[in-house]
Amino acid sequence: MKFKMTLLAAAVAMSSGYAVASDNNNAIVDQSGWSNSAEVDQQYGAGNQQAAVTQMGLGNTADVLQTGSSQQATHYQEGWGNESNSYQTGYLNELEVTQTGAFNTSSVNQWDRYNDASVEQYGWGNDSSVEQHGKHQDANVLQTNRSNDSSVLQTGNNQTANVSQTGSFNESSVDQSNHSMTGFFKGYNNADVSQTGNFGKSDVRQSGFANNAQVDQGGMMNDADINQLGSGNYSDISQSGIGDMAATEQVGWGNISLVDQSGFYNDAEVDQDGIGNYSTVTQTGAFGMVAVNQEGAFNSSAITQGGGMLNSASHTQSGAFNSATTNQSGSFNSSSIIQ
């Protein structure tokens, strides 16, 4: 999205490298190198907007549009071929984007009030998109190395998303948009995603109140999927092997799911529907398969696959206060518990 700079700001920018707007707005553009482009439009004043764009190198592009009052936007780009776009409306929103390296792209859209976004990109070919509307949203994105992709969407109130991608060729999506929730029970969700390996994929979707999702991916080609609907649910997926897949779906209140995978091409699926259910899955072998289905209240499930290969375990629980434990070592084991 391109925004037009005011004629006064453009004229000053072309003559001295700085653009300063009137009506209590401040716009500073400092460019060196060649083929840089910065467009700042802070609309109609009525506040203390501030925008500072510093670009060094060549081929950098930065667009800033701010409306409302008390907005702040800071872009810093060093290197060549980087692009940053920002849009803020409402009041008291803050934005900071830092890009070094080459061919990094950042897009931030914030509207309503008290939202804060921070994006740092170091390396090559990283892409970050942040969209926030509502109140008191907070998004922090860190990307290093090359070709990482991060998308954050937050609506409602008091959502927090922290994404750190320090490997290469990773994909992360965080959606905390509360599509199906109304009233008080929407907001205060938290998502933390850390990808330190290569070719990892993480998808987090949260709708409700005070849900918490944690994803920690190392290794290579791991896939994590978390879907939470309700209140007070907690899901943690930790992957450090190669080609592991884990999916957690939680519906209800206060469910807890913990998945730890450190082997090769393991598959774990956890479905929880109810109140206060608890599940742990640990896989350290290869080609293991785990399925957990909990419906009801305060059920407990623990499955461990230690070493070996081609093991299979499933727990199906309905009702309340059921407990099941399965430990598998060696290879070609199969276990199924229905309660």
Q: Shortest CA distance to 266 belongs to which of 307, 205, 315?
A: 307
Mean pLDDT of the chain: 85
Distance of alpha carbon 56 from alpha carbon 76, whole angstroms: 8
* Residue-level pLDDT at 96: 81
Q: What is the CA radius of gyration of the chain?
A: 23
Nearest Cα neighbor of 130 from 103, 97, 104 is: 97
Which DSSP helix (H) or strand (E) runs through 211?
none
| pLDDT tens figures, 13-50 | 332 333 434 456 776 666 677 777 766 666 765 667 77
Q: Count of alpha carbons within 13 Å of 35, Cβ hemisphere only?
A: 9
Q: Is residue 256 predicted with pLDDT exceeding 50? A: yes
d(CA 88, CA 86): 7
Query: What is the Cα 249 distance to its own chain's centre?
Result: 18
Residues 6+ apart with CB under 8 A from 173: 150, 151, 202, 203, 204
Of 19-28, 293-302, 317-326, which range is least confident? Answer: 19-28
Q: Percent of the chain scored above 90 by pLDDT?
A: 60
Between 92-101, 210-219, 280-289, 291-300, the lowest mean confidence (pLDDT) is in 92-101
Q: How do residues 150-174 score in pLDDT, each as one tens digit?
A: 999 999 899 999 999 999 999 999 9
Mean pLDDT, to the nearest integer, of 80-91? 76
For residue 95, count CB atoms less than 10 angstroms from its CB and return exposed for 0-12, middle for 13-18, buried for 19 or more.
Answer: buried
Output the six-digit token pair for 32.
């060196």
Q: Which residue has the higher pLDDT, 178 or 155?
A: 155
Secondary structure letter of residue 146 according to DSSP: B
Q: Quick one: average pLDDT of 67-82?
A: 74
Residues 279 and 83: their CA atoms lie apart, in Å, by 44
Hey, what long-range contacts does 136-145 have (CB within 8 A, 24 or more apart)? 137/110, 139/163, 141/117, 141/165, 142/166, 143/104
Residue 61 banded pLDDT, cuts 50, 70, 90: confident
Tell me the domain boundaries of the chain: 148-338
Give the tens place of pLDDT for each residue, 43-57: 765 667 777 777 777
pLDDT value at 141 more than 90: yes
